Amino acid sequence: MLKRTIAIVVMLLMSTVAFAEPVVVEDVQPVYTEGESYQIEVLADGQMQVRKATRVYRDGVEISKTYHRHVLSPGADVTEEVERVQDISEAVWTEDTIKEYKDKQKKNELTIE
């Protein structure tokens, strides 16, 4: 008798549960965007350290960040660099700065005999 009562109660509970209609979600593709930022440091001897941060966003939320760092010596070709690096190199790398840097490099050069 107890088993039968439990079975009836379970059936009643199951019959009173309301199931929501399935919601159809449109197939929306996420929007990916990319952004870059630069950190530029000029050292005392005129070298420029350039760090580029590349960020990837999905629907406006950052999901990835990578860094690339490189160093430019006074007098280096900066035509392929971003405009900001070109402007800074033009302002900082005077003829005297370039000459001093190159003289220092020659002084520190190793000679192998």
For the chain, domain boundaries:
30-107
Mean predicted lDDT score pLDDT of the chain: 83
pLDDT digit string (tens) for 24-55? Answer: 666 778 889 999 999 999 999 999 999 999 99
CA pair distance 102, 92, nearest whole angstrom: 15
Closest CA to 72 of 53, 91, 55, 93: 93
Sort 31 into a burial class: Cβ within 10 Å, 0-12 / 13-18 / 19+.
exposed
Q: Taking CA 54 as the corner, what is the angle to CA 52 and CA 60, rounded to the nearest 5 degrees?
A: 145
What is the mean predicted confidence (pLDDT) over 60-65? 93
Residue-by-residue DSSP string for 32-82: EEEEEEEEEEE-TTS-EEEEEEEEEEETTEEEEEEEEEEEE-TT---TTS-
To the question of pTM greater than 0.75 for the whole model, the response is no
> Which one-letter DSSP state was computed for residue 111?
-
